[in-house]
Chain A
Amino acid sequence: MYIFVCEDSIDGIFTGIYDAWASRYGHVNIVLTTHTPDNYSLFEEYITVQTDYEKSAKVAHTLQERMGEETYQEICQAALALEADSHRQPIDKAEAIYKTVVLALSLTDAGRVMNYLGEPCVNRTFQLSRSTFNEAHHLLGFLRFQELENGILFAQIHPKNDVLPFLGEHFSDRLPEENFMIYDATRNLAVLHPKGKGFFITDTGELNQEMLQRLSPQELAYRRLWRTFFESIAIESRKNPKLQNQNLPKRFQRDIVEFTELPNN
């Protein structure tokens, strides 16, 4: 068995697919993984994949051509999903995507590959892709901007999957006239959108917390106004905190203004 160890990103996985294909070891003899193994097995050969944007772009191009936009999007969403603990998941994320791609390219209509949910690797890719999509869709609503002193809208999120590309696209279409920033605190990445231009994603490192505390003068007033609305819209005789938490899981609540304490002043 040849084990290709690649970086946990779209480009990393796509490069892995490229190298695996080019190696000519045969698909059945190859496993892709994003985990650097803790213990190396004796009879496996480990190959470290160096992420290469040119190779990745070639794979992306082929997949787009052969699968069509919709299925390609699903593959990308799966690649952006959080790779859970490898010991509990039967199929590694990179492996699932790799085998899905192999199956797809063996079909006359590669775009139909996601229909084959009976195949374990397709099923896993489907679950991963759905997980990213669902979380991104939740965050379209659960994300909250706050206006800073300099007029910039700032939002902080703690997503499981890497959803920034979706959020960037949605919010730059929605708020073209705003300078905004969406900060993914689990990955230290951020979407930056300058007014009237396209957005880009960048590595931010640690943010200057002091600057984020300086809110615009109106900000707290609107936050209070929103809380006023939030509290008065609930119907007392239908009160149901369990349903509320079921619909809006606790892990999102810490970044949502109506569920956090207002700063005093």
Chain B
Amino acid sequence: MNTIQMDMDLFEKLTILSDAAKYDVACTSSGVDRKGNGRGMGNSVAPGVCHTFSADGRCISLLKILFTNECIFNCAYCLNSRDSDVRRASFTPEEICTITLEFYRRNYIEGLFLSSGILGSPNYTMDLIYQTLLKLRTVHHFNGYIHVKAIPGADPALVERTGFLADRMSINLELPTADSLQKLAPCKSRSTILKPMRQIQNRISDNKQELTVYRKAPRFVPAGQSTQMIIGATPENDFQVMSVAEGLYQKFGLKRVFYSAFVNVNGNSMLPALPGGPPLLREHRLYQADWLLRYYHFKVAELLSEDRPDFNIFLDPKCDWALRHLDYFPVEINRATYQTLLRVPGIGYKSAERIVKARRKNSLTFDDLKKIGVVLKRALYFITCSGKMMYRTKLDEDYICKNLMQDKTQIPRDIREGGYQQISFFDKELQTDFQLLT
């Protein structure tokens, strides 16, 4: 393989440029199944593969780096904005290729995630990224996963050319509303973000046509596109955030929307200080709701409304919904449709599928449900097996709510134990809530 100059330079560059990239959440390698081509190296498996987990517990699947952290933009929330005092560095395309290939063959990573600060102009930066990918794909025959950022404001032709080399592309929406974006990221605008997003969406659907005509046509962004929103930097409520996400799924055909709990990295006075650490629980609730949209046929309007714009801190969105729709329950396990089962707290989409298949042979009991993987401590209030409930329970909102809140997993262990401070803000509220219930 290639030998490279392993001077301190490369170590420093990698430190600076991975440090600068870490606030980008997306690190998934999913969405595309591709066999190796028998030469070079690389393949890709649809569910994605996690290679390791960093000290913050997040999955590392891709080599997540910036091409450069020299940036002409001045986004207030960003560590690399032109006004902030950080060390700057840039890779060369050759350096990125070597690191990617050497890490890949040692199975450290599943592929490359390449983003960049804006060096010179959006077009110049996009071209550098394109050149890097071109080299990786054609000179080094790298066939692994590549996730690449489209640079807002870059020439559509460049974005298109890059898309034929990447598996996934993303353009970060950054903030849920145009107002906030203008305030915090004056160099970006809603249109420079949404335009390329629309372009990629259209190109993907055209590509599907091309592929039906000719199976071996070059594939454009086969793993789809994703985006990311920062949570807690601006005053938007959960309802606004989720509505935007729903819009993106429906109107832009996005594969994933990521939510990033805001970390105040450069102490900008326009931004909240968040003494309790990043809003991790809120981020967690948003992800739960996001799953409900994508896998459970929920609509945002069912979960939240103008009057109830934020998620319940103490209960997950699905339990919360169920408690407000008790008329829908109890659900008979041996008869209910798949869609009905999906709405029961404690039954996931996989368990629901298994239930539907397993009950064809003989009717299921609570014992069977447990083996199938249903979380009975949540589900038992909402289901019957052959007409019987598991215990004598009341179908009463306060009663169920009280019992569900005793379930510690409602606030996941990693947030409870991960030095999560914010819960103390609500402690008083929690006590009054309990008083109301008892």
A residues contacting B by CB (< 8 A) are: 112, 115-119, 123, 137, 140-147, 153, 155, 170-171, 173-178, 218, 221-222, 224-226, 228-235, 237-244, 246-248, 256-258
Nearest B residue (CB) for A258:
B52
Residue pair A237, B106 in contact (C-beta under 8 Å)? no
Residue pair A118, B417 in contact (C-beta under 8 Å)? no
Residue pair A242, B418 in contact (C-beta under 8 Å)? yes
B62 to chain A, nearest CB (A): 10
Between A and B, 16 residue pairs with Cβ closer than 8 Å are A118-B362, A140-B45, A140-B49, A147-B106, A153-B105, A170-B45, A174-B42, A176-B39, A177-B39, A218-B102, A235-B58, A237-B277, A242-B417, A244-B53, A244-B56, A257-B108
A254 to chain B, nearest CB (A): 14
Residue pair B57, A246 in contact (C-beta under 8 Å)? yes
Residue pair A117, B19 in contact (C-beta under 8 Å)? no
Q: Which residues from A are CB-within-8-Å of B45?
A: 140, 170
0/1 string, B91-130, CB within 8 A of A gives 1: 0000000010011011110100000000000000000000
B423 to chain A, nearest CB (A): 15
Q: Which residues from B are CB-within-8-Å of A228?
A: 11, 14-15, 18
Residue pair A237, B357 in contact (C-beta under 8 Å)? no
A120 to chain B, nearest CB (A): 9
Q: Which residues from A are CB-within-8-Å of B18?
A: 228-229, 232-233
Nearest B residue (CB) for A216:
B1
Nearest A residue (CB) for B106:
A145
Residue pair A175, B54 in contact (C-beta under 8 Å)? no
0/1 string, B356-385, CB within 8 A of A gives 1: 011111101000100110000000000000
Q: Which residues from B are CB-within-8-Å of A176?
A: 36, 38-39, 41
In angstroms, Cα B362 to Cα A80, docked, is 29
Contact status of A234 and B41, CB under 8 A, knowing A137-B49, A243-B418: no
In angstroms, Cα B419 to Cα A240, docked, is 8
Residue pair A235, B368 in contact (C-beta under 8 Å)? no
Q: Which residues from A are CB-within-8-Å of B54?
A: 230, 233-234, 244
Nearest A residue (CB) for B61:
A141
Residue pair A239, B357 in contact (C-beta under 8 Å)? no
B residues contacting A by CB (< 8 A) are: 1, 3, 6, 10-11, 14-15, 18-19, 21-23, 35-36, 38-43, 45, 47, 49-61, 63-64, 99, 102-103, 105-108, 110, 144, 261, 263, 277-278, 280, 354, 357-362, 364, 368, 371-372, 413-414, 417-419
Residue pair A229, B14 in contact (C-beta under 8 Å)? yes
Residue pair B103, A177 in contact (C-beta under 8 Å)? no
B388 to chain A, nearest CB (A): 17
6 new A-B contacts at CB < 8 Å, known A178-B41, A226-B103, A243-B53: A141-B51, A141-B61, A225-B6, A225-B11, A229-B63, A240-B419
In angstroms, Cα B371 to Cα A239, docked, is 34
Q: Which of the residues B23, B57, B58, B105 comes within 8 Å of A178, measured between beta carbons?
A: B105
In angstroms, Cα B371 to Cα A116, docked, is 12
B396 to chain A, nearest CB (A): 31
Residue pair A119, B361 in contact (C-beta under 8 Å)? yes
In angstroms, Cα B15 to Cα A230, docked, is 9
Contact status of A222 and B51, CB under 8 A, knowing A173-B35, A243-B414: no
Say whether chain B's binding surface is mostly helix, strand, loop, or mixed.
Answer: loop
Q: Which of the residues B3, B53, B418 comes within 8 Å of A218, measured between beta carbons?
A: B3
Residue pair A240, B418 in contact (C-beta under 8 Å)? yes
Residue pair A144, B107 in contact (C-beta under 8 Å)? yes
Contact status of A234 and B22, CB under 8 A, knowing A140-B49, A218-B6: yes
In angstroms, Cα B103 to Cα A145, docked, is 10
Q: Which residues from B are CB-within-8-Å of A141?
A: 49-52, 61, 107, 110
Residue pair B278, A230 in contact (C-beta under 8 Å)? no
In angstroms, Cα B358 to Cα A112, docked, is 10
Residue pair A230, B56 in contact (C-beta under 8 Å)? no
Nearest A residue (CB) for B416:
A242
Q: Which residues from A are CB-within-8-Å of B358?
A: 115-118
Residue pair A230, B60 in contact (C-beta under 8 Å)? yes
Q: Which residues from B are CB-within-8-Å of A242?
A: 57, 413-414, 417-418
- Give the top 6 A-B pairs by smallest Cβ distance, nearest first: A243-B57, A115-B357, A243-B414, A240-B418, A234-B55, A234-B54
Residue pair B106, A146 in contact (C-beta under 8 Å)? yes
Q: Which residues from B are CB-within-8-Å of A174?
A: 36, 41-43, 144
Q: Which residues from A are CB-within-8-Å of B23?
A: 235
- Residue of A115, A147, A174, A226 with most chain B CB atoms under a 10 A cut-off: A174
Q: Which residues from A are CB-within-8-Å of B105?
A: 145, 153, 175, 178
Residue pair B43, A173 in contact (C-beta under 8 Å)? yes
Nearest B residue (CB) for A153:
B105
Nearest A residue (CB) for B55:
A234
Q: Which residues from A are CB-within-8-Å of B47?
A: 137
Contact status of A116 and B361, CB under 8 A, knowing A177-B41, A237-B263: yes
Residue pair B60, A233 in contact (C-beta under 8 Å)? yes
Residue pair A232, B22 in contact (C-beta under 8 Å)? yes
Nearest B residue (CB) for A241:
B55
Residue pair A239, B41 in contact (C-beta under 8 Å)? no
In angstroms, Cα B61 to Cα A175, docked, is 18
Q: Which residues from A are CB-within-8-Å of B362?
A: 118
In angstroms, Cα B78 to Cα A42, docked, is 76
Residue pair B49, A240 in contact (C-beta under 8 Å)? no
A114 to chain B, nearest CB (A): 8
A66 to chain B, nearest CB (A): 18
Residue pair A238, B278 in contact (C-beta under 8 Å)? yes
In angstroms, Cα B358 to Cα A243, docked, is 33
Q: Which of the residues B64, B102, B354 comes within 8 Å of A117, measured between beta carbons?
A: B354
Contact status of A142 and B51, CB under 8 A, knowing A175-B105, A235-B22, A238-B56: yes
